[in-house]
Structure 1
């Protein structure tokens, strides 16, 4: 049997990471969020700071097709790869690390276009977590100890960054329900409710095989 993988896209402040953590704890598997950057740095030989600086940051300077055409060539040591802009190298290194992790173990992966990287993995469930703006503003304001106005501005900025990154590197649209197997409102369901829904989805999916 192949590994059971769960990818989680999320609006900023929606509780997406908390859902991922609760899901991983419930299943006794690992969660990869910032840990993915550490692993990608180790696998690629790039320093971790490079991945942190480019983490889910948008880009608009080069065509998406260049990325995938070069990726199909393969090696980090190949001439096309060496000639690529740094942000593309970072994306491809993460892309490859995500696949390595999924091949190695069942896990939960947060963000970083993991659903797109694992599109060919039949036991991968792709989830998007959202919540209404009022809930998110309160959560971010409390977590970061900032005013609600600043929290709202930060939410809008982070959502725009994540959308730009996802839409650029994948063939799908960030937050669009057709891009995922499940879209869940954490504000309505709560963290545990979202986990229950994800596990029920897995149960039904496995039963239909």
Structure 2
């Protein structure tokens, strides 16, 4: 069956965002990443800056702290409101058109659809470090810290809202090592598997 929607989850520095953007271009379909922030902000009533920082990343360091973040009288936290707005936007995008969606727990949000292919992109530490150093103009130690922090926050958000384990192969259709395969081959595999 043809997969209309491709979700891409990724480790920081693996090139998952770049791979997803290229796949969308080559397939001639829509690409959604940070360009949905304003829509999520509008639905949640929060600022685009807040959504950008918190829609995919947990604001706290640990799952326990995340679970008990400030909640209102209904039991919802600001993060819950962001997640619910994000969920509605992603469900609407999936109904609207074929697309590639980067991160934001889209694999889980769209789990009940049979026209979705979920991809997880990971890579070797040394190559990810070099990529981050180049892209962000930082030293190796800072690149390692950025990777650890970003991936921990993605994992905490994902694990909390999906009750699944971030990066666990069983949650995805494909798990690709961009360091071993290269970006071009990752793109070709994704496109071949989506047909």
Match of 2:162 among 167, 170, 188: 170
Alignment partner of 1:144 is 2:136: yes
Number of the residue aligned with 1:74: none
Cα 1:151–1:114 shift into 2, 3 Å:
same
Partner Cα separation in structure 2 for residue 140 and residue 3 of structure 1: 31
Partner Cα separation in structure 2 for residue 47 and residue 63 of structure 1: 22
- Relative to the length of structure 1, the TM-score reads 0.83
Number of the residue aligned with 1:105: 97
Q: Structure 1 runs of 4+ off > 6 angstroms?
A: none
Match of 1:123 among 92, 97, 115: 115
Alignment partner of 1:52 is 2:41: no
**Contact 2:31–2:99 under 8 Å retained in 1:** yes
Deviates more, 1:44-53 or 1:193-202: 44-53
- The DSSP-based 3-state class of the residue aligned with 1:17 is helix
Number of the residue aligned with 1:132: 124
Aligned length: 188
1:7-29 deviation line (CA, Å, top 9, x unaligned): 00000000000110110000111
1:66-89 deviation line (CA, Å, top 9, x unaligned): xxxxxxxxxxxxx94xx5211100
1:101-146 deviation line (CA, Å, top 9, x unaligned): 1110111110110001000111100000000000000000010000
Per-residue deviation, 1:44:
4.0
Deviates more, 1:52-61 or 1:102-111: 52-61
Cα 1:154–1:63 shift into 2, 3 Å:
closer
Alignment partner of 1:94 is 2:81: no
Number of the residue aligned with 2:35: 35
What are the ranges of 5 or more consecutive residues in structure 1 without an aligned counterpart? 65-78, 204-209
